[in-house]
A and B are shown apart, each in its own frame.
Chain A
Amino acid sequence: MTYVVGIDLGTTNCAVGYRKLEADAAGSTHEILQLTAPGTVESRLLLPSFVYLPANGEFPQGSLALPWDKKAAHVAGEFARSHGANVPARLVASAKSWLSHSAVDRNSPLLPWNAPPDVERISPIEASSRYLRHLQGAWNKQHPERQLAAEDIVLTVPASFDAAARDLTIQAAREAGLQNLTLLEEPQAALYAWLEQAGDGFRKQVSVGDVILVVDVGGGTTDFSLISVTEENGDLQLTRLAVGDHILLGGDNMDLTLAHHLNQQLLQKGKKLDAWQFTALTYGCRQAKETLFANPSLTKAPISVASRGSALVGGTVRVELTRDDLTRILVDGFMPKVDVTDLPQTARRTGLTQMALPYAQDPGITRHLAAFLTRQSRIAAGHTFVHPTAILFNGGVFKGEVLKQRVVEVLNGWLTKDGGQPVKELQGMDLDLAVARGAAYYGWVRHGHGIRIRGGTARSYYVGVEAAMPAVPGFEPPVRALCVAPFGMEEGTHADIPPQEFALVVGEPTVFRFFASSIRREDRAGDMIDDAVHNDEFEEVAPIETTLSGDTGKLVPVNLQAAVTEVGTLELRCLEKNGRGRWKLELNVRTRDE
């Protein structure tokens, strides 16, 4: 192994960073070869996370070939995104969000979602695996002497990914033929990128007692983490304190909102865009947004939406994005000035909810932030919400300096009102590539260089135990939660659960309900908590199941044991009492009873 490779497997874009395994190595970013048009292979810093599943004969034979796969039958990356925008029924997008969606069977071929019956479908795991296989092919082509499968790989996941989603990410990587894997949470990766860039100077920028808030708004997800700076034996220590819940809300929503707004204006003028032009408008909005953010003196930016046909002049539709609209829609819409007590609005679910991705109902990122800091009040040192002292931004959205300023402004408002100090902003690096670079840096840190962020699991995990009581019609017996993995379990450690009276039936599948909490940090393994279902400190995750081999019908008394693997995934085992039987409990990611 000569390299550590960091892979940012993003909701909308993937990136690869790498670093030599030497003490004074420097990190770099790997450009990814991909199809940008039929028959055209180019390298780009990002691989858009899209898979296009072509119809038979849709493209000339051989035109989808990649330098490492002459017979490629599907497209991943730039061309998949650009062409798929016009053929949405064949486009697999946001596979990563589906990977963490516990209400669907993530092993089953369900993407493209809503595709007509004759379109081949793939599972969210298969989609993730295809991105990784593409990254692997491109890497091997460019580094023929260093095959990716032989390197140490750090794969990033949202901090909000639960145990099952982490498992599935590893499964996707294994299916792509990658073995030497470690998982890293994206906000931590962003902080590692900052550490890499700051070098020894980081000690001048943060000091003992600091609490760093990482705000990571990617294309499709928003992720918060808190990391504290402490001291041990005279050395600075970084500890990840808490992570937020999974929020499906990101930069893509922003561009779409702008596009819908301008589309309304055009409709009022009697100009109707078709789907193809609407895609172009969305792209134009992103450009115009970036132009306005980069040039504070401009009051508006023009957007030209090309005609569909070849008559470009005369057929091109012109529209303007004004700064007022940008501020009102993006800054006030997505980063509203709210109180720390304002919680995100959740729309009431109707009886028949269409199965789809659980997008955030409230676009107010500042409201989600308020909820996160308030929910973590257990570590707020006597305040009603956590007081961060420093903030690090990550994600392409924050190329807009105005959006950063707004978050800081709102946060400082909360802090000063509560008697706290304003936060200082840590200046990060390239917002698109920081996670990949930080991941590679972390791989290097794991080999004994630099400073490591500690923290362990960001959740505590519980097995649901139905209370023994007589059945009452129409009344669901309360489910008690037995803590099997406490908060903050470090990689490579295990927790034994004090003896409980568990007896499993041999030869039949046994299913446990499974709960997680990102707040309850005081529970120890073996603690029993009443009624997890009606307690909003718990969220129910995918159930776990096992089938004990042996003579059917026999009851075997067992003990439970939880372990966090070196890779960073959670494992639950049943150990036979007074015997040698050991069974792994699998996280059942196929279905969950709603």
Chain B
Amino acid sequence: MSQQIAFMERLKLAWRVLVDSLFASRVLDGLDALEAKSAAANVPPERLHASGLMLVAALQREGRLVDFLQQDIAAFSDEDVGSAARVVHGGCRKVLKQFFQFEPAMNGSEGTPMTVPGGFDAQRIRLTGNVAGNPPFKGVLKHHGWVAVDVKMPAISDALDPRIVAPAEVELP
């Protein structure tokens, strides 16, 4: 453990580990987690982030997202970009629907007044504008946010190199 712990805290800790088996097991779990973290440091980044790459691969496969973003589109007309955007939108939407179920982080119509209660979840609600004083705050909902209430990512095989987001396609005559 690299964190510095004050002497009194260490004494208390030793004492509790000795007498409180539940607490002791929690400490051990914490140590395991730290160990797992350092082990993870040795895993190559593509393995560590395999599910992220898998998501990109799915968005490319179904919605050509990587093609779209990798292309310089400055010279194309809006009509061309629009046609391509339909491919991206249709395919990526399908993937998003399959993997996640989204709900607004906050109910209510955007643009309507609402109250942010005391003890609000600061991850779910971000305050902007004149942030001063203590909650409850009266404000206007500008963006309802998104929460993935269900995550259903597919199982991916270890047999594959996750870096290959899309294979080259060669057609045989």
Footprint of B on A, CB under 8 Å?
Answer: 36-42, 60-63, 65, 67, 276, 287, 302, 304, 306, 308, 310-314, 316-318
Query: Which residues from chain A contact B54 at a C-beta distance below 8 Å?
Result: 40
Other CB < 8 Å A-B pairs besides A40-B157, A63-B160, 11 of them?
A: A38-B160, A41-B157, A42-B154, A62-B160, A63-B157, A67-B155, A310-B67, A312-B64, A313-B73, A313-B80, A316-B87
Q: How far is the CA of A317 from the CA of B84 in the complex (A)?
A: 8
Q: How far is the CA of A347 from the CA of B155 in the complex (A)?
A: 50
Q: Which 7 A-B pairs have the closest CB atoms?
A: A62-B159, A39-B157, A42-B154, A304-B86, A39-B160, A318-B83, A313-B84
Q: Which B-chain residue is minimally distant from A65 (CB atoms)?
A: B157
Decide if the interface of chain B is mainly helix, strand, loop or mixed.
helix
Inter-chain contact A63/B159, CB cutoff 8 Å: yes
Query: Which residues from chain A contact B157 at a C-beta distance below 8 Å?
Result: 38-41, 62-63, 65
Query: Which residues from chain A contact B79 at a C-beta distance below 8 Å?
Result: 318
Total contacts A-B at CB 8 Å: 80
Q: Which B-chain residue is minimally distant from A284 (CB atoms)?
A: B90
Of A60, A304, A308, A310, the residue contacting B159 (CB under 8 A) is: A60
Q: How far is the CA of A19 from the CA of B98 in the complex (A)?
A: 25
Query: Which residues from chain B contact A67 at a C-beta distance below 8 Å?
Result: 155
Q: How far is the CA of A40 from the CA of B160 in the complex (A)?
A: 10
Given contacts A40-B154, A63-B159, A304-B86, contact A310 B70 (CB under 8 A): yes
Query: Which residues from chain B contact A63 at a C-beta distance below 8 Å?
Result: 157, 159-160
Tell me the smallest distance from the CB of B57 to a CB of chain A, in Å.
Answer: 8
Q: How far is the CA of A192 from the CA of B132 in the complex (A)?
A: 64
Q: How far is the CA of A238 from the CA of B54 in the complex (A)?
A: 52
Q: How far is the CA of A318 from the CA of B90 in the complex (A)?
A: 14
Q: How far is the CA of A41 from the CA of B58 in the complex (A)?
A: 12
Query: Which residues from chain B contact A41 at a C-beta distance below 8 Å?
Result: 154-157
Is the C-beta of B76 less than 8 angstroms from some C-beta in chain A? yes
Query: Which residues from chain A contact B61 at a C-beta distance below 8 Å?
Result: 37
Query: Which residues from chain B contact A36 at a C-beta distance below 8 Å?
Result: 154
Is the C-beta of B107 less than 8 angstroms from some C-beta in chain A? no
Given contacts A40-B154, A312-B71, contact A60 B80 (CB under 8 A): no
Encoded as 1 (CB less than 8 Å from any A CB) or 0, chain B from 53 to 93 comes to 01001100100100110110100100111011011101000
Given contacts A304-B83, A304-B84, contact A310 B156 (CB under 8 A): no
- 13 A-B residue pairs with CB within 8 Å: A40-B155, A40-B156, A41-B154, A41-B157, A42-B155, A62-B158, A304-B83, A310-B70, A310-B71, A312-B64, A312-B67, A312-B68, A313-B76
Q: Which A-chain residue is minimally distant from B94 (CB atoms)?
A: A287
Inter-chain contact A39/B159, CB cutoff 8 Å: yes
Q: How far is the CA of A39 from the CA of B161 in the complex (A)?
A: 10
Of B70, B71, B87, B160, the residue contacting A60 (CB under 8 A) is: B160
Q: How far is the CA of A318 from the CA of B80 in the complex (A)?
A: 9
Encoded as 1 (CB less than 8 Å from any A CB) or 0, chain B from 21 to 64 comes to 00000000000000000000000000000000010011001001
Inter-chain contact A316/B159, CB cutoff 8 Å: no
Tell me the smallest distance from the CB of A280 to a CB of chain B, in Å.
Answer: 9
Q: How far is the CA of A37 from the CA of B62 in the complex (A)?
A: 11
Query: Which residues from chain B contact A37 at a C-beta distance below 8 Å?
Result: 57-58, 61
> What is the interface size of chain B, counting residues whose CB is below 8 A from a CB of the partner?
30
Query: Which residues from chain A contact B76 at a C-beta distance below 8 Å?
Result: 313-314
Footprint of A on B, CB under 8 Å?
Answer: 54, 57-58, 61, 64, 67-68, 70-71, 73, 76, 79-81, 83-84, 86-88, 90, 98, 154-160, 169, 171
Inter-chain contact A313/B154, CB cutoff 8 Å: no
Q: Which B-chain residue is minimally distant from A283 (CB atoms)?
A: B90
Q: How far is the CA of A39 from the CA of B58 in the complex (A)?
A: 12
Inter-chain contact A313/B68, CB cutoff 8 Å: yes
Inter-chain contact A302/B80, CB cutoff 8 Å: no
Tell me the smallest distance from the CB of A314 to a CB of chain B, in Å.
Answer: 5
Inter-chain contact A306/B80, CB cutoff 8 Å: no
Q: How far is the CA of A61 from the CA of B67 in the complex (A)?
A: 27
Of A42, A61, A287, A313, the residue contacting B71 (CB under 8 A) is: A313
Q: Which A-chain residue is minimally distant from B158 (CB atoms)?
A: A62
Given contacts A312-B84, A313-B71, contact A287 B90 (CB under 8 A): yes
Inter-chain contact B156/A39, CB cutoff 8 Å: yes
Q: How far is the CA of A311 from the CA of B87 in the complex (A)?
A: 12
Q: How far is the CA of A316 from the CA of B84 in the complex (A)?
A: 6
Query: Which residues from chain B contact A302 at a C-beta distance below 8 Å?
Result: 83, 86
Inter-chain contact A316/B80, CB cutoff 8 Å: yes
Q: Which B-chain residue is minimally distant from A310 (CB atoms)?
A: B67
Given contacts A287-B90, A302-B86, contact A311 B154 (CB under 8 A): no
Query: Which residues from chain B contact A38 at a C-beta distance below 8 Å?
Result: 157, 160
Inter-chain contact B87/A306, CB cutoff 8 Å: yes
Tell me the smallest distance from the CB of A59 to a CB of chain B, in Å.
Answer: 9
Q: How far is the CA of A313 from the CA of B77 in the complex (A)?
A: 9
Q: How far is the CA of A519 from the CA of B64 in the complex (A)?
A: 54
Tell me the smallest distance from the CB of B97 to a CB of chain A, in Å.
Answer: 12
Query: Which residues from chain A contact B90 at a C-beta distance below 8 Å?
Result: 287, 304
Tell me the smallest distance from the CB of A75 to a CB of chain B, in Å.
Answer: 13
Query: Which residues from chain A contact B171 at a C-beta distance below 8 Å?
Result: 276
Tell me the smallest distance from the CB of B90 to a CB of chain A, in Å.
Answer: 7
Inter-chain contact A314/B80, CB cutoff 8 Å: yes
Inter-chain contact A313/B81, CB cutoff 8 Å: yes
Tell me the smallest distance from the CB of B91 to a CB of chain A, in Å.
Answer: 8
Q: How far is the CA of A308 from the CA of B64 in the complex (A)?
A: 11
By CB atoms of chain A within 10 A, which of B64, B155, B159 has the most? B159
Query: Which residues from chain B contact A316 at a C-beta distance below 8 Å?
Result: 80, 83-84, 86-87
Q: How far is the CA of A302 from the CA of B87 in the complex (A)?
A: 11
Query: Which residues from chain B contact A40 at a C-beta distance below 8 Å?
Result: 54, 58, 154-157
By CB atoms of chain B within 10 A, which of A39, A276, A310, A313 has the most? A313
Q: How far is the CA of A497 from the CA of B79 in the complex (A)?
A: 74
Inter-chain contact A306/B64, CB cutoff 8 Å: yes
Inter-chain contact B71/A311, CB cutoff 8 Å: yes
Query: Which residues from chain A contact B84 at a C-beta distance below 8 Å?
Result: 304, 306, 312-314, 316
Query: Which residues from chain A contact B68 at a C-beta distance below 8 Å?
Result: 312-313
Q: How far is the CA of A308 from the CA of B67 in the complex (A)?
A: 11
Tell me the smallest distance from the CB of A352 to a CB of chain B, in Å.
Answer: 29
Q: Which B-chain residue is minimally distant from A306 (CB atoms)?
A: B87
Inter-chain contact A61/B159, CB cutoff 8 Å: yes
Q: How far is the CA of A288 from the CA of B87 in the complex (A)?
A: 13
Tell me the smallest distance from the CB of A489 to a CB of chain B, in Å.
Answer: 47
Query: Which residues from chain A contact B67 at a C-beta distance below 8 Å?
Result: 310-312
